[in-house]
Amino acid sequence: MSRVKKDKLTAGHTPRVAPYWWGHEVKAGKALKSCPRCGAIYFDKHWHIIPNFWVEYKRMLPKKSVVQELCAECKWINSGREDTGWEGELVLENLVDADKNEILNLVRNVGARAFKRDPEDQIIKIEDRGKKVIITTTENQLAVSVGKQVARAFKGGELKIIWSDEDAPARVVWTRKEK
């Protein structure tokens, strides 16, 4: 039985024992990296989200030094390039006030779920322009996923996915049919 299978990091479960990488990291003597903006932990050459990391592993931290460093996506967002550096754009059109809050909550929830799976999937900005909302994301697949979730939850709209030649950025447009 592999220790990797017991450690359900990406499934949103809090591991009951130290994850498989902990012993290797401690032996290596490298400092553990933590992103102060989003809370991601860097190990195994990737950024990961571990629920309740600071609570569960507080007793182990004296063995290990922790360095605060922004992850790549947070550096990108904090650099002020969110206007030009996005990979996915979702445009929601013809929104009515009655459903707008519910749609925006759905967008935030889908973004939060994607972030828990992979900290590289983040919503950069939600720009409300009345009947039109523009959402930019760090990954093109996240914009597509959010658009599909909105189209599935709110019937009576048209979803268009427009891919660029280079596979990034993707533009997703969901237009609510006027009643």
Report all structural domains of the chain as residue ranges with CATH numbers, in order of start: 3-70 (no CATH), 78-176 (3.30.70)
Between CA 147 and CA 159 the distance in angstroms is: 7
Query: Residue 109's pLDDT is what?
Result: 95
Least confident window among 12-16, 105-109, 132-136: 12-16
For the chain, give the number of residues: 179
Q: What angle do CA 152, 38, 2 make, to 5 degrees?
A: 80
Query: Residue 132's pLDDT is what?
Result: 94
pTM: 0.72
pLDDT average, residue stretch 76-89: 71
pLDDT average, residue stretch 37-57: 76
Mean pLDDT, all residues of the chain: 78
Q: Where are the alpha helices (DSSP H) in 66-139?
A: 72-78, 97-117
Query: Residue 54's pLDDT is what?
Result: 64
pLDDT average, residue stretch 9-18: 46
